[in-house]
A and B are shown apart, each in its own frame.
Chain A
Amino acid sequence: MAIELTVNGVRHSVDVAPQTPLLWVIRDHLGLTGTKFSCGIAQCGACTLHIDGRPVRSCSFPVSAAAGKAVTTIEGLSPDGTHPVQLAWIDLDVPQCGYCQSGMIMSVAALLAKRPNPTDAEIDAEITNACRCSSYHRVRKAIRQAAAAMPAAGRAL
């Protein structure tokens, strides 16, 4: 069955079973491999992307539910890798193995769009992505740095 999707501003029509998780359509049909598979049960957040600006764990989200909505993946977060969150991540050398970081960055970008200057409690509540290398210490610092940089960058999220 053909499903219409808009991913990173580009319209696609994919012929897959409607219950196929969005993750696998993104990775295997559209070839966007920045979004990662890890647990498959919406626990770890490695597969986080945005649907209409909200963070979604795509491993457990049927593609049919994304039809007609705007999907953004790590590849579409910024045209050139210069989203304030990405820049803060580079500046503080946040990633270790990096496997969870696409999802982590997408969660943080969504949080900062909603709460430009989040409290520690808000970060704790909203950033529930797992990082096995435990880069959390730098993640928190980089969230602060990105939050501080966002007004200066003057960009809408």
Chain B
Amino acid sequence: MTNDLRKPGLSRRDVLSTAAVATGALVVGFWMPQRAAAKEINSAGTTANAAWAVDPAVDEINAWVVVAPDDTVTIRIAQTELGQGVWTSNAMMVCEELQCDWSKVRPQYASANRDGQEMAPAWTLDVMGKGATDPLGGGEPEFGGRNRTGITGIPNSLYRRMRTNAAASVRDGRYYLQLAGAEARERLLLAAAKAWGVPVEEVRSANSVITHQPTGRTTTYGQVAALAAQTPHPNPERIRIKPPSEWTLMGTEQKNLDVPLKVTGKTIYGIDVRLPGMKWAAVRSCPVYGGTVKSYDFERIRNQPGVISAIAFPIPDPALIRDRTFSGGVAVIADSWYQAKTAVDQLPIEWNVPPKNAAFNTANMRATLMSAMDKPGKVRVNLGDCDRAFASGARIVEATYSTPYLPRARMEPGNATVLVTDDRVDIWIGDQSPQETRFSAAKITGIPEQNVYLHMCHLGGGFGRNGNGPQAEQAIYIANQNRGTPIHLLWTREEDFINTTYRAMGVARLRAALDADGWPIAIEVRTAMDETAPGATACFDKVSCYYAPSYRFSTHTAAFHVPVGTRRGVGQPAHEFYRESFLDELAHAAGRDPYLYRRELISRTNLPYRADMIKALDTAAEMSGWGTPLPRGKARAIALEERGAEGGGHATISAVVHTVSISRQGEVRLERVDIAHEEGFGLVNPLSVRKQLEGQIVWFYNDAMHQECNVTEGRIAENNFDTFPLSRINEDPPEINISFFKTGHWLNGMGHDRGTSVQSGIADAVFQVTGKRYRDLPLRNHDLRWS
């Protein structure tokens, strides 16, 4: 029997949810202006009566969970969906504990505005358990700064870390998302017990149904949700989270909840936002970073169709964007974007260009980096006695590698829609850091943060939180100059290339002294890149993960003008190319098998996860048929991919074998990829992990073969997909095999620096087939023919 325990009356959100479910839509709670609702911006440009202007009052169980009377469960998502599957995986972590019916879960973006005003419950602030190697605990999240600007760490504010970066949504968010689901479950059980007048110990729940065990009576979450919302937990600090051994939903392959929207064109990305009275802005930024507008001649475009106005904007305040200096520019505002873009294309603009910046080009920048490696640099690690080993007369192997500037080139060009009125800012945006954008909006407009509202949209690709550039800051500035009018800023592809941060150009010189058997007695690593580049110490920072009795690592820097940031990894992708390429060169110099050479050098270390690394190598080698003959023109290469394996905390470890063919005409084909990948204590959604691996293989194939950005007279030379190639389906490897294995720690993350080994793998295969060793990427710059 089912008892109707819900309190009378539907809340407004219940109605919204029910309506959306009835139409089969998954868009419940996109805090997007449904087009009709947004018509409520009144003629004065104020928003007071617009449906999206107030968060509808709902009976939430806690800030993360709303259960409607029909059992629909809305789960708030504080990260941004950009293809990594976070809408699904975050919801799975809450649902696992909530024990609700997964088919009734609807994700909804969490409110950055509320996050700016409310704090998370004190009992959720600190992680439980014994760190990264405790399966019962919450892992070892990186708390860092706890203030609510959200620039780093996990704030104590309501929705905690709202950034989407560092492949950390599971690592940093799992414990408090599981707690949120568990607390909601406990309160639903308490509510049912209270309504029935029975001890809570006698009620259980599964799949949104609550059962009183002694009598078999049942009710549903929806029926008791309103009561649960009024029922605090008496001692929430005693709530525990389920370890992997108790998971029933986490760890299973779940299709991503938003895919039905994505195959019908219904997903709302930032570019798709439409508001009544909205005007469009197309911009032209100074192509040399640090440049500003000297003058422009609006009269030349004033009478163009649809053109309304133009304004110059300054260099976005570097303090708001991690000290990156982009450019000033001009925005043309028009009725439609194409009109604005056509006009800005014809607008005469004179620039103030810093001469120092205009003097940079790829060749002189690379030369600067090379010479920086000849100077002392900053010594990060110095174990043993490298000088003595290198002077001992042992055989020396030395190699210098280089990698270019690389942009993310996400498919959706930068955009944001902003409405500034005298007391409020509304921003519709796909954004990887809404807490920072909230802060930016307040700084630029002078309107307090509590009056800043972000309406989050899906992102058409992300690949690095700070890579979105100043899309929000530009749009807020322009809208602030046009108060009362919603302004939709949209970059052209070419503007997107100017306004992104780049993975820094880098060089590395690796040297080893080998003993008579070919084993290193010393390894020395020098790297050089821009002084502001993140990830300078990645891969090399504690010890050499391939053993050498003496090891020295120093970083060297130069000051350039191109804004640099993360890009599907933080230092790791380039550094793994250097390290694994060099290991291949050492193995060849020693006349030893590159797989067994790696295996031996890892087994000689005392690294905490060396057994996992060896397991990965052994598994990948076995999967690939390592050692079996290949026809002429084909070769296999193996590499280790690891993040954090030297530290003993969170880590992500895999080994990959690439089977590559190179035709006599020099055409490269990645034929087959065999991946042995750890799953740590458990993966949340293995399907999303597989997709991440498949995608990152091709991502780094592009880096290996095709992609680079050069600097010419201070400008980025390649700025669209004609000169910056993206691989297509014809270059996708026909065979990708993935094997997971369990290890004894929580994973670092899956969203980046998986698949980095494609770079060293193809380069070494080219060497094996052609005899030619190329140490600078991309390989398309080289003659790969052989006879």
Minimum C-beta distance from B750 to chain A (A):
12
A99 touches B461 (CB 8 A): yes
A73 CA to B35 CA in the complex, in Å? Answer: 20
Which stretch in B140-148, B206-214, B258-266, B510-518 binds the other chain? B258-266
Q: Which residue of the partner chain, among A35, A97, A123, contacts B83 with CB atoms under 8 Å?
A: A97
Given contacts A24-B337, A123-B729, A130-B726, contact A94 B460 (CB under 8 A): no
Q: Contacts of B380 on A, CB cut-off 8 Å? A: none
Q: Which residues of chain B in 696-753 are interfacial with respect to chain A, using CB atoms and an 8 Å cutoff?
A: 696-699, 720-722, 726-730, 732-734, 736
B461 touches A41 (CB 8 A): no
A140 touches B266 (CB 8 A): no
Q: Is A68 part of the binding interface, using a Cβ–Cβ cutoff of 8 Å?
A: no
B732 touches A105 (CB 8 A): no
Q: Contacts of A81 on B, CB cut-off 8 Å? A: 260, 263-264
Name which residue of chain A comes closest to B274, CB basis. Answer: A31
B460 touches A124 (CB 8 A): no
Minimum C-beta distance from A144 to chain B (A):
12
Given contacts A38-B493, A123-B729, contact A135 B460 (CB under 8 A): no
Q: Which residues of chain A in 51-78 are interfacial with respect to chain B, using CB atoms and an 8 Å cutoff?
A: 73-75, 77
Q: Contacts of B460 on A, CB cut-off 8 Å? A: 36, 38, 97-100
Q: Contacts of A95 on B, CB cut-off 8 Å? A: 83, 256, 259, 262-263
Q: Is A113 part of the binding interface, using a Cβ–Cβ cutoff of 8 Å?
A: no
Q: Contacts of A120 on B, CB cut-off 8 Å? A: 734
Q: Contacts of B493 on A, CB cut-off 8 Å? A: 38-41
B259 touches A89 (CB 8 A): yes
Q: Contacts of A123 on B, CB cut-off 8 Å? A: 729
Name which residue of chain B comes closest to A74, CB basis. Answer: B265
Name which residue of chain A comes closest to B722, CB basis. Answer: A43
Q: Which residue of the partner chain, among B255, B262, B694, B720, contacts A43 with CB atoms under 8 Å?
A: B720
A96 CA to B694 CA in the complex, in Å? Answer: 11
Given contacts A20-B338, A132-B411, contact A73 B732 (CB under 8 A): no
Contact with A along B164-193 (1 / 0, CB 8 A): 000000000000000000000000000000
A-B contact count (CB 8 A): 170
Q: Contacts of A133 on B, CB cut-off 8 Å? A: 83, 461, 695
A46 CA to B305 CA in the complex, in Å? Answer: 27
Interface hub of A134, A137, A138 (most chain B Cβ within 10 A): A134
Q: Which residues of chain B in 506-561 are interfacial with respect to chain A, using CB atoms and an 8 Å cutoff?
A: none
Given contacts A44-B721, A135-B691, contact A96 B83 (CB under 8 A): yes
Q: Is A127 part of the binding interface, using a Cβ–Cβ cutoff of 8 Å?
A: yes
Q: Contacts of B267 on A, CB cut-off 8 Å? A: 98
Minimum C-beta distance from B487 to chain A (A):
15
Q: Contacts of B411 on A, CB cut-off 8 Å? A: 36, 38, 44, 46, 97, 99-100, 130-132
B263 touches A86 (CB 8 A): yes
Interface SS of B by simple majority:
loop
Name which residue of chain A comes closest to B336, CB basis. Answer: A28
A35 CA to B265 CA in the complex, in Å? Answer: 7
Name which residue of chain A comes closest to B412, CB basis. Answer: A99
How many chain B residues sit at the interface, stated as a range, is: 35 or more
Given contacts A40-B493, A137-B732, contact A98 B458 (CB under 8 A): yes
B262 touches A41 (CB 8 A): no
A134 CA to B197 CA in the complex, in Å? Answer: 56
Q: Is B776 part of the binding interface, using a Cβ–Cβ cutoff of 8 Å?
A: no
A127 touches B729 (CB 8 A): yes
B265 touches A24 (CB 8 A): no
Name which residue of chain A comes closest to B460, CB basis. Answer: A99
Q: Contacts of B259 on A, CB cut-off 8 Å? A: 89-90, 93-95, 98
Minimum C-beta distance from B54 to chain A (A):
26
Q: Which residue of the partner chain, among A33, A38, A93, contacts B272 with CB atoms under 8 Å?
A: A33
Q: Which residue of the partner chain, among B84, B263, B268, contacts A90 with CB atoms under 8 Å?
A: B263
A130 touches B255 (CB 8 A): no
A133 CA to B729 CA in the complex, in Å? Answer: 12
Contact with A along B70-94 (1 / 0, CB 8 A): 0000000000011111000000000
A156 CA to B452 CA in the complex, in Å? Answer: 50
Minimum C-beta distance from B169 to chain A (A):
15
Q: Is A34 part of the binding interface, using a Cβ–Cβ cutoff of 8 Å?
A: yes
Q: Contacts of B734 on A, CB cut-off 8 Å? A: 120
Q: Is A17 part of the binding interface, using a Cβ–Cβ cutoff of 8 Å?
A: yes
Q: Is B459 part of the binding interface, using a Cβ–Cβ cutoff of 8 Å?
A: yes
Q: Is B424 part of the binding interface, using a Cβ–Cβ cutoff of 8 Å?
A: no
Interface hub of B261, B459, B726 (most chain A Cβ within 10 A): B726
A96 touches B265 (CB 8 A): no
B413 touches A37 (CB 8 A): yes
Q: Contacts of B35 on A, CB cut-off 8 Å? A: 31
Minimum C-beta distance from B255 to chain A (A):
5
A74 CA to B695 CA in the complex, in Å? Answer: 24
Name which residue of chain A comes closest to B735, CB basis. Answer: A137
Q: Is A139 part of the binding interface, using a Cβ–Cβ cutoff of 8 Å?
A: yes
A149 CA to B263 CA in the complex, in Å? Answer: 17
Q: Contacts of B722 on A, CB cut-off 8 Å? A: 41, 43
A5 CA to B549 CA in the complex, in Å? Answer: 74
Q: Is B492 part of the binding interface, using a Cβ–Cβ cutoff of 8 Å?
A: yes
Contact with A along B278-300 (1 / 0, CB 8 A): 00000000000000000000000
Q: Contacts of B271 on A, CB cut-off 8 Å? A: 33, 36-37
Minimum C-beta distance from B33 to chain A (A):
13
A89 touches B305 (CB 8 A): no
9 closest Cβ pairs, A-B complex: A34-B265, A99-B460, A97-B83, A98-B262, A96-B83, A134-B698, A124-B730, A74-B265, A136-B732
Besides A97-B412, A136-B732, A137-B732, 6 other A-B contacts (C-beta < 8 A):
A44-B411, A73-B265, A90-B263, A98-B258, A98-B261, A99-B269
Q: Chain B: residues with CB nearer than 8 A to chain A?
A: 35, 81-85, 255-256, 258-269, 271-272, 274, 305, 336-338, 409-413, 458-463, 490, 492-493, 687, 691, 694-699, 720-722, 726-730, 732-734, 736
| 26 pairs, CB–CB < 8 Å, chain A vs chain B | A21-B338, A24-B337, A28-B337, A34-B265, A34-B266, A35-B265, A36-B269, A36-B412, A44-B721, A44-B726, A75-B265, A95-B262, A96-B83, A98-B262, A98-B267, A98-B458, A99-B412, A100-B460, A123-B729, A124-B730, A132-B411, A134-B695, A136-B732, A137-B698, A137-B733, A139-B729
